[in-house]
């Protein structure tokens, strides 16, 4: 145990004293906030106005198109269509909508044409088709004797008021917010498994190629060296996460304080801003109701289990090869479950957080660190979490045994590219 602790201490100190580790630990939260602010600023910038021509031979559609911040519509019904197409080619118009005159309303279904140099966005297409369909519907109803004015007066817009069974007010998009939080945790685990797993692998390759491993291995067991590297790097990663959590918490408190200023007496000019602020405070209140403490604890548990599991594989790969180029054939099977966990978790948890697919993948050890963290904000029974964690650490022990077999043989193998068949043979030694 004393030898293992020395290896852990050496690996931990070498990682935390690294300049890049120190810089990224404290600079990353600032970069994250700066990027978020930049994205917010860019999203608030006004887009370039696009000029759209409407060539309406009927005269009944052009009035349906109103100018907006993004689009400005021009009635060009009196201009020759050939000249309009030339105008599109010369970029005078972003595009021109041609509406011919038809005797029957049904003929408009496939008669309207939009001409442009660049393909329009799906949003623009959907909006334009909706305006045209609505106008044709109203025209068709009028031809059948239906009073469309009375129909408009009869419309009632419904906005649902969301409350819980306990009577508490809730907000729209709460599930999306929960998935987003779980996705952040999942992406962090995947990112750091890849980053620190590669760090373990490179460390093994460097010691192996420098032949210093031959001296080290004479005094300690290979499994002790492998576990020392994994645990030492894990502790460094946990330290980084803790620092990020503290800095993130401080930034969160500051953000809440800043957004919470002067909310009691808003002026008339600030009515819209006050409404947005109320929505933000409601979402923030829902965020605080989430089991944040337990989510953080489970995050650390799954981070440790997932990292131990994958780092054992990274260490085994590093011991089996002589350089990083030879690792490519072994990396895809290792990274694929991580990617699978992220995408399956995202596309299934949002719709069915307790469905069969989400539940199964939250139990599979290679995907559970990601999928289960996405499910936890929705309220997962404790026995499912306990079973998932037990399976994760049991699989970790099994993988460590397999990886140690490969590590023991591969650490002293030089000048030969291993194959999957040879790795299987090493397990029998």
Mean pLDDT, range 333-359, rounded to an integer = 82
- Cβ atoms within 10 Å, residue 298: 20
Q: Apex CA 43: angle with CA 41 and CA 48, to 5°?
A: 110
Please tell me which residue, 13 or 327, carries the higher pLDDT value: 13
Q: At 229, phi and psi to the nearest 5? A: -65, -45
Residue 39 lies in a domain: no
Contact 198, 314 (CB under 8 A): yes
Residue 152 lies in a domain: no
Q: Measured between alpha carbons, how far is 74 from 66 in angstroms, rounded to an integer?
A: 10
Cα 116 to its chain centre, rounded Å, is 34
Residue 64 lies in a domain: yes
Residue 157 lies in a domain: no
Contact 379, 354 (CB under 8 A): no
**Six-digit token pair at 376?**
């936890």
Q: Measured between alpha carbons, how far is 147 from 284 in angstroms, rounded to an integer?
A: 47
Residues 56 and 87 in one domain: yes
Domain total for the chain?
2
Check residue 389 and give its pLDDT.
Answer: 92
CA atoms within 13 A on the CB side of 417: 8
Q: What does the pLDDT look like over 269-314, one tens digit per residue?
A: 444 444 455 556 666 666 666 777 788 888 888 888 888 888 888 8
Q: Measured between alpha carbons, how far is 185 from 196 in angstroms, rounded to an integer?
A: 16
Check residue 271 and give its pLDDT.
Answer: 46
Q: Are strands 95-99 and 113-116 parallel, antiparallel or unpaired?
A: antiparallel
Cα 131 to its chain centre, rounded Å, is 34
Residues 113 and 83 in one domain: yes
Residues 279 and 389 in one domain: yes
Beta bridge partner(s), residue 52: 73, 95
Mean pLDDT, range 354-371, rounded to an integer = 88
Q: Which pLDDT band, with edges at 50, 70 and 90, does 391 fall under?
A: very high
Residues 235 and 368 in one domain: yes
Which of 115, 147, 179 corresponds to the end of one domain? 147
Residue 45 lies in a domain: no
Check residue 145 and give its pLDDT.
Answer: 79
Residues 124 and 230 in one domain: no
- Cβ atoms within 10 Å, residue 131: 14
Q: Which pLDDT band, with edges at 50, 70 and 90, does 387 fall under?
A: very high
**Is residue 320 classed exposed, middle or buried when 0-12, 13-18 and 19+ CB atoms within 10 A define those classes?**
buried
**Six-digit token pair at 221?**
């067991």
| Full residue range of the structural domain in which residue 367 is found | 3-31+171-262+269-427
* Residue appearing with tokens 């007066």: 153
Q: Measured between alpha carbons, how far is 208 from 130 in angstroms, rounded to an integer?
A: 66
Q: Measured between alpha carbons, how far is 181 from 292 in angstroms, rounded to an integer?
A: 10
Which of 131, 147, 163 corresponds to the end of one domain? 147
CA atoms within 13 A on the CB side of 303: 27
DSSP 236-296: HHHHHHHHHHHHHHHHHHHHHHHHTTT-SS--GGGHHHHHHHHHHHHHHHHHHHS-HHHHH
Check residue 214 and give its pLDDT.
Answer: 63
Q: Measured between alpha carbons, how far is 53 from 74 in angstroms, rounded to an integer?
A: 5
Largest CA distance in the chain: 97
Q: Which pLDDT band, with edges at 50, 70 and 90, does 335 fall under?
A: confident
Residues 19 and 79 in one domain: no
Q: Measured between alpha carbons, how far is 392 from 413 in angstroms, rounded to an integer?
A: 31
Residues 418 and 297 in one domain: yes
Residue 164 lies in a domain: no
Residue 158 lies in a domain: no
Check residue 388 and give its pLDDT.
Answer: 92
Residues 133 and 212 in one domain: no
> In percent, how much of the chain has pLDDT > 90?
2
| Residue from 149, 171, 409 nearest 288 by CA | 171
Check residue 264 and give its pLDDT.
Answer: 42
pTM tops 0.75: no
Residues 79 and 190 in one domain: no
Residues 186 and 78 in one domain: no
Residues 387 and 314 in one domain: yes
Residues 320 and 404 in one domain: yes
Which of 147, 180, 198 corresponds to the end of one domain? 147
Q: What does the pLDDT look like over 155-206, one tens digit per residue?
A: 777 766 666 655 555 556 666 777 777 778 878 888 878 887 887 887 777 7
We report the CATH number of the domain holding residue 63 as 3.40.190.10
């Amino acid at each position: 145990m004393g030898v293992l602790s020395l290896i852990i201490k050496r690996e931990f100190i070498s990682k935390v004293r690294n300049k890049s580790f120190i810089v990224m630990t404290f600079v990353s939260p600032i970069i994250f906030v700066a990027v978020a602010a930049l994205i917010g600023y860019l999203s608030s910038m006004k887009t370039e106005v696009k000029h759209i021509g409407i060539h309406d031979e009927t005269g009944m559609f052009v009035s349906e198109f109103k100018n907006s911040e993004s689009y400005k519509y021009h009635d060009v019904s009196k201009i020759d269509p050939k000249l309009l197409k030339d105008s599109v080619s010369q970029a005078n118009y972003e595009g021109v909508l041609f509406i011919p005159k038809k005797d029957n309303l049904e003929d408009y279904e496939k008669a309207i044409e939009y001409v442009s140099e660049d393909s329009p966005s799906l949003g623009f297409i959907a909006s334009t088709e909706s305006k045209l369909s609505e106008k044709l519907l109203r025209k068709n109803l009028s031809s059948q004797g239906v009073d469309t004015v009375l129909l408009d007066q009869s419309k009632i817009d419904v906005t649902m008021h969301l409350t819980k069974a306990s009577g508490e007010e809730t907000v729209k998009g709460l599930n999306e917010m929960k998935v987003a939080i779980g996705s952040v945790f999942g992406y962090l685990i995947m990112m750091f498994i890849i980053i620190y797993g590669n760090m373990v692998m490179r460390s093994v390759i460097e010691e192996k190629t420098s032949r210093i491993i031959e001296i080290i291995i004479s005094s300690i067991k290979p499994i002790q060296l492998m576990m020392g590297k994994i645990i030492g790097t894990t502790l460094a990663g946990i330290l980084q996460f803790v620092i990020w959590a503290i800095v993130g918490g401080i930034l969160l408190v500051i953000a809440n304080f800043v957004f919470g200023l002067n909310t009691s007496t808003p002026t008339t000019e600030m009515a819209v801003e006050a409404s947005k602020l109320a929505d933000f405070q409601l979402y923030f209140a829902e965020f605080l109701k989430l089991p944040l403490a337990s989510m953080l604890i489970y995050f650390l548990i799954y981070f440790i289990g997932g990292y131990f599991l994958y780092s054992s594989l990274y260490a085994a790969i590093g011991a089996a090869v002589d350089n990083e180029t030879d690792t490519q054939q072994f990396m895809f099977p290792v990274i694929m479950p991580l990617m699978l966990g992220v995408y399956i978790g995202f596309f299934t948890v949002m719709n069915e957080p307790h469905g069969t697919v989400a539940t199964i993948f939250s139990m599979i050890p290679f995907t559970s660190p990601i999928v289960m963290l996405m499910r936890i904000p929705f309220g997962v029974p404790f026995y499912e979490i306990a079973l998932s964690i037990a399976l994760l650490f049991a699989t970790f022990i099994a993988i460590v045994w397999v990886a140690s077999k490969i590590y023991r043989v591969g650490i002293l193998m030089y000048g030969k590219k291993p194959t999957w068949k040879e790795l299987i043979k090493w397990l029998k030694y």
